[in-house]
A and B are shown apart, each in its own frame.
Chain A
Amino acid sequence: MRRHLILSLLLFWIVCGLGNSPLPAQPPASDLESLEERAFKQAAALMNPSIVRIETVGGQDRVGKLITGTGPTSGVVVSRDGLIISSAFNFIGKPSSILVTLPDGRRFPAVVVATDHLRMLTLLKIEADNLPIPTAVPEKDLQVGMWSIALGRTFELDQPSISVGIVSALERIWGKAIQTDAKISPINYGGPLVDIQGRLMGILVPLSPGATGETAGVEWYDSGIGFAIPMTDVLKVIPRLNTGKDLHPGLLGITLSGKGDLSTEMNLDRVRYGSPAQEAGLKAGDTLIKLNDKPVALHSEVKSVLMSLYAGDTVSLTVTREGAKEPLTFKATLTEKLVPFESGFLGILPVREAQNQTTPGVGVRYVIPDSAAQKAGVKAKDQILEFNQQKVTSAEMLAFLVNHLRPEDQASLLISRDEKPVKLDVKLQKTPDAVPAEIPTQAIPSRTAQENKTQKIKAGHYKEKLPGSDSSYWAYVPENYHPDYEYGLMVWIHPPGNTMESTIFNEWKSICEQRGIIIVGPTAEDVIRWNRDETEFVEAVVKSMQQRYDIDPTRIFLLSHADGADFAFDLAFKYRELFRGVAVTEGSLKSRPPETDPDYPLSLYFALNAHNPLNQLLQPRLDLIREMNYPTVFQLIKNDQQPGEYPEKPFLEEIGRWADSLDRI
């Protein structure tokens, strides 16, 4: 009987499939689930004494578009004598006071020691001793798929809040972070991510691969995409932060040709002026092959190395250079800020030649008063033949040479005056922030409307649609348009709600005829507002005008009024290669512009009624954009007009002169 029993148990074992299972015997599902649950709770309990609650007092209630939270946040003890690490996000409102509460209820005032703006961590210090430090997981033990438990101390003081997930990826956000699908949000930013044994994996922070702002990544809260800075990196950075100096992302100052992270074009497109890359000796056209002795063949590989380094860190770059037999290696020390580039300025307006004309060098149409050119003795009707011993054959080439030098740089000019060569030395200046009181117009031989008609050139005021587009645009081409000469192009961006077509046409017609400018006014599909997607439509309109008429690429500018400015600036910063100026009346600039680029100079013009409350907002913006070295004119309108009204003729004439001088060198 006993034998039967043993036999039957054995059979039962086999029937259940457990005897020959390739996997080790597993406890039943319910056991496993409850064991795991117990493990989550134990892991949280193990870490519990090292998690602190952080509360802040005062500070901004809004940072950018984000309304800052006022709830408690979390931090982790990292030294026995009171160093606490937390997420920099918790302090973006710049609170006037920070208080830390330990799990045992003791409260301490805290001071910010320093912030790491690359990994978005903030180190705090409280005057406490004998605090419990958690155990960190060795980096080699981290694996995708392992349990990860996110803890915080927002809700209850005696018990951490718990969210459970797995490690979704390692070395995310250009090598900086562990990714987890545990729910990460302002509830636990600054708190720990622990493994199932209660060991510290990292510190929870919001991050985003595409953005670097202080609120980047917050939009992903609770979405299953959460990040933690690995503890090994946190521990490396604490001694640096503990010196009291903030850490910033390191900048090198190069751009690679080709677009997208998977691009394999490794040529240096640009080397920024005054950047660590330039100082190290790198040049545009070099091909990058190694970074920190590691071969690189993709843009993303370059990003992974550079975007995890701090200002002050050194990086070695190996490049191949045309003409050099061996690859060259350079060492660069990364910097916190790149010097904004400022183009040099000579101070002349070039003669606008007809297409079939071929005169040597560049003719001087006008010399701007008090400019470098005037001081050096350049006069109207001179022909500039050489700049710094280089022959110049076009205004475009002269502009390129001048724009790539900086104010205060010396240069030599060879000019022809009354058919005699004259050598002049010139010291370049800053581009002026004012428009000359007079700029002579250049007379263009006139054509009759009939002549244009026979050549099927559409002139005058007309309305059209682009093929395949629902949006329309209007245009005004001076009736005496002459196809042999280049014209300026004024792109009118109407404010939301009103195309202002007749106002613009009536006010600008004569100015544009005088100065050889074509007007084009794209209309938003819904006049109520411009949609950001419509930038492509405006670009297409400009391109089609360029195909139809002879347009000077250096004199294409955007004109806008009031709130239309937002869209005009969107366009200008998106299509840097297309637009050379933005003139805005009764409007402001809301976002920070990108860095200046000598290849695509952009001039700005603002006219604002003295009574317009926007003045308060605009003034600090003007300081900023001038600091960034954008040539910027600001005209304060003092008259009886109401704020917001379209300015009167004399003010528009100044904008006309400004537009007419966009091809200045």
Chain B
Amino acid sequence: MQEVAYPVLTSLVFFPLLAAFGLFFLRGDNTVRIYTLVVSVIELALSFPLFAGFKLESAAFQFVERATWVSRWGIEYYLGTDGISFLMVILTIAVLPLCVLCSWTYITTRIKEFHFCLLFMTAACVGVFTSLDLVLFYVFWEAMLIPMYLLIAVWGGPEKKYASLKFFLYTLAGSALLLVAIVAFRVAGGTFAIPELMEKTFSFGFQFWAFLALALAFAIKVPMFPFHTWLPAAHVQAPTAGSVILASVLLKMGTYGFLRFNLPLTPAASEYFAPLMIAISIAGIIYGGVVALGQNDIKKVIAYSSVGHMGFVTLGIFLFNLRGLEGALFQMLNHGITTGGLFMMIGAIYERSHSREISDNLGLGKYMPAYMFFWGLFALSSFGFPGTNSFVGEILVFVGAFEQNPWVGALMVPGAMVAAAYMLRISLKLAWGRPSTWKQWSDLNKREWTYLLIPAVFVFYIGLAPGLCFKVMDASLVKLSNDVQTKSKLVSIENEKPLEMALNSLKGIVK
């Protein structure tokens, strides 16, 4: 544990929150936009100490801050970051200025409230990724729902009320039992602090039910098949910035939850449930791909592709080998960059054609070459073309899967192929389709160039030189996979009848 003099993480969590309240004293639409952009750039600057001080070779939590919050229950204000959460924090902060830029002309009503929600959202998301106390984690986890709900419900598309309600009910219902699980951990382990709970070993029966309670919340958030139905609805209705945050940051919270809670705290149960999780991950990959193939709404294609991509992530997580975990974390980062980029592209074209139907946006290659260049780039990245970022992640998951069991690897192949099929289908139509009437749309302007160039640079950077990201995550992931391997052996499963044990402990839990 490394203590720091200057509370970097606290500043990252609370600066956007405090800055959000400053919005209410501003007048004028562009003033609000510029202010939020400046705030987001300052937030980026505040994260520089993280880059400077992060020890690559250490698996321990860094930048730790601890203070008592509710002494009686041992609830603490406890923040810290390690290789697993570091990249997620950076991703969250980096997405914020892009969201401000891509909403510049898209959002025309209630601009102040919109930017308030963006900043509030960022604060809560950074909080989720850096909390090391279960209660604090839950607070941020739930607090983030409210701004996201408002982003969809107020600035969304025609079906926004239905979509936002579905999103809110689904995700909150999923986390109802998460709170019970948190309390159960506190009683069984004597503390809410995650690093200390990681050191403890719980009985298999307890792990079994705790795993299920945690997994329900995280699987809905990821979302894993068959809990994914809220995602397409929410994505299609959300404004561009909402979709970007949803895809880049929110979905990662689910997979982050698996890495941070399920694997270290319930290793034996994770091992027991791994075949099931792998099965529904593969189902998600194939299902997401096949459904995306049949969509005519560009946003729906990308939304269903998210289900497939997140399937790769959960698959990598439950392979339990280092390759799989690395691949999963890489894919979390890549999906954030690539899908975020694609959603911003859809926002840009929607501002011109006011339609998300493929048939209304044909033949862009003729008069929007720059747009098509970026689209092609992100599309290639989306299905893991060599040289782009997703290739690195996907190949790692493949290698991990074949190491674990060749059949698992073999089953992933059609999913990857379908991904190429739907992305190429949509790209072909956008680039060379024959539009019914020729429209003179202007190509990308400077602002659009700016917010598309940034993710594009990272597509190539991670695709061609992934070394630094490896160094960041490796120490923590090695520790995690070793912990899971050793700790799952500590819990003896008597006479190999885990289900009976689980049912017995259920009788103990529900007495």
Q: Are A and B part of the same complex?
A: no
The chain B residues found within 8 Å of chain A, CB to CB, are none
